[in-house]
Amino acid sequence: MSNEKPSKNRHEDPRRKVGGLRGAPEETKLAQLSMPTSNERSKPSRTLETFPNPKPERDYLIRFECPEFTCLCPKTGQPDFATIRVEYVADALCVELKSWKLYLGSYRDEGAFHEAVTNRILDDLVAATRPRRARVEAEFKVRGGITTTIVATF
């Protein structure tokens, strides 16, 4: 018969110990609880990575939406929030989405007018992928009672 006391919670497994399974190495228990260090996190970058279009002989639309875009108002320094919508028809290259996420994050601490940032995003997408056509729509949230939507096409 076991010397372990029965658990007060009838759904709790009495073989479990605080911090992990009985017999698990301490390092495993700590690794399960730890957050990535600042060196392990992905940092914002203006580099857009690409990969070969898997079907370059066909026109097909690639569409993605980024609802958490942030930049700063160049006049007040206040944050501006936007949803960025992208549509493009790739030629030889497609943009890799993790690099796209890091690219958009690079604007977080930069002051930019809505019109300028939208056109720059389109220019950078076009420079990286050379698409057959592209469209970037930036829908900025309300500030001072005004919403702004900028649409740039290539």
Q: Which of 73, 91, 123, 124 is catalytic?
A: 73
Query: What residue type is 21 in one-letter code?
Result: L
- Point out the catalytic residue in the list 13, 59, 66, 80: 80
b/e map of 117-129 (b: 16 or more CB within 10 Å)?
bbeebbebbbebb
Q: Could you give phi then psi for residue 95, rounded to 5 degrees?
A: -85, 140
Contact 94, 62 (CB under 8 A): yes
Task: Report how far residue 83's alpha carbon sits from residue 68's, in angstroms, rounded to the nearest whole number.
Answer: 6
Q: Is 66 a catalytic residue?
A: no
- Distance of CA 40 to CAs 36, 52, 55, 111, Å? 6, 27, 34, 27
- 73 flagged as catalytic: yes
- How many residues does the structure list for the chain? 154
- Among all residues, which ones are annotated catalytic? 73, 80
